[in-house]
Structure 1
Amino acid sequence: MDLRDDVRERLRKAFTWRGDRPDDHAYADATGWWRAPDLLRDLGPALAGLVEAERPTVVLGVESRGSLLGPLVALALGVGFVEVRKDRTPSCDSDAWLHRTTPPDYRDRHLRLGFRRTLLDPSDRVVLVDDWIDTGGQALGVLALTEGAHATWLGAATVVDALGSHQLRRRLKLRSLLHVRDL
């Protein structure tokens, strides 16, 4: 069994759907993924394996879980990491940021995503890393940020693909370790 297959199996075992019986909605509880040190250690290389052939120069991750997984993937690829912040503002006038507003996310929110302009340049080859993709709203926001920096979008790598749109999956060049139906 290769690393990705092994990681997929451990992800399934450490995952739980939560909710009380009368509830119409269960929610995903991935906290077991962060608690298992061997799984946490192997998540970076497993996700990196999805995109390494594209030769990224930087990994982007949206706070909070993208900021947890992104550095693990960046280390596995030997590249840098840029944290994409939600609804943050520059600390002073000379602190130039690139911002974009997302389409609705999984909570039907329009978020303002951004990072310092100096962190990405036109020579960069960008991959987005996150734990879960549902509507694609945040990924589209990061794609717009990448385009605004004139960098090259290589795609997104997530632990779980819960995206409903095949067209959006292709546009984002999405690769994932698991599909939501696997859980």
Structure 2
Amino acid sequence: MQNKTVRDYIRTIPDFPHKGILFRDVTTLFADARGMRLCVDQLVAPFTGEKIDVVAGLEARGFILGGAVAHQLGSGFVPIRKKGKLPAATHEQEYALEYGTATVEVHRDALQPGARVLMVDDLLATGGTAKAGIALLERLGAEIIGCAFVVDLPDLGGRAVLEDMGMPIHTLCDFDGK
């Protein structure tokens, strides 16, 4: 039997959430013990030996991955959440959606200035959420070591957006289309 790749564990659901969209569902990856282990190991690999103080995870699947990556790296974990979900004083950052805007937040005391941070999420599409997360972390004085994603959708241009910001990007697989 051939060894499975991370991509092999991800199912595609056509026409979700809208007609014409091919949704890349990582819940099947998370549900499989071997797939999840493979995923976390591959997300961590390029950063092993780096001094990383904090892993920041983007809501919501970035929490699942970020916690596991932080554990492997021996780092703390900071959630970047949708507006109104954090209980203490926050910084917020608005970003564009296909139709409208959304806002993410981070606690103002989430990390110390100069903290070395790895940002993690499941999917890189247009880069809007990641860009907002980076802006929040930088507002706190973080030094962002890199951004790690399971899936890249290169046709949507998110990698170029983040690379134009000077961010090192690590992805495990990519899928064509939207």
The reply to whether TM is greater than 0.5 is: yes
CA distance in 1, matches of 2:7, 2:85: 38
SS in 2 for 1:88: coil
TM-score (norm 1): 0.81
Aligned to 1:129: 120
CA distance in 2, matches of 1:180, 1:35: 20
Q: CA deviation at 1:108?
A: 4.3
Contact 1:45/1:72 (CA < 8 Å) preserved in 2?
no
Number of paired residues? Answer: 167
SS in 2 for 1:68: helix
Contact 1:15/1:30 (CA < 8 Å) preserved in 2?
yes
Query: Is 1:51 equivalent to 2:47 in the alignment?
Result: yes
Distance 1:48-1:175 versus aligned 2 partners, 3 A rule:
same
Q: CA deviation at 1:137?
A: 0.4
CA distance in 1, matches of 2:86, 2:122: 27
Aligned to 1:143: 134
Moved over 4 A (4+): none
SS in 2 for 1:119: coil
Q: Deviations over 1:59-113 (max 9, x none)?
A: 001111001100010011110101111112654xxx32122112x24x5452211
Contact 1:50/1:176 (CA < 8 Å) preserved in 2?
no
Query: Matched residues, percent identical?
Result: 29
Contact 1:19/1:25 (CA < 8 Å) preserved in 2?
yes
Residues 94-173 of structure 1 mapped to structure 2, 5 A cutoff: 95-102=88-95, 104-105=96-97, 107-163=98-154, 164=157, 167-170=160-163, 171=165, 172-173=167-168
Distance 1:157-1:90 versus aligned 2 partners, 3 A rule:
closer
Q: What letter corresponds to residue 137 of structure 2 in structure 1?
A: T
Q: Which one of 59, 72, 80 corresponds to residue 63 of structure 1?
A: 59
Contact 2:6/2:38 (CA < 8 Å) preserved in 1?
no
More helix by share: 1
CA distance in 2, matches of 1:35, 1:166: 27
Name which of structure 1's ranges 155-164 and 107-116 shifts more when overlaid on structure 2: 107-116
Contact 2:147/2:169 (CA < 8 Å) preserved in 1?
yes
Q: What letter corresponds to residue 46 of structure 1 in structure 2?
A: Q
More strand by share: 2
CA distance in 2, matches of 1:116, 1:169: 23
CA distance in 2, matches of 1:123, 1:30: 32
Distance 1:109-1:130 versus aligned 2 partners, 3 A rule:
farther
Contact 1:43/1:72 (CA < 8 Å) preserved in 2?
no
Query: Is 1:24 equivalent to 2:20 in the alignment?
Result: yes
SS in 1 for 2:52: coil
CA distance in 2, matches of 1:100, 1:10: 35
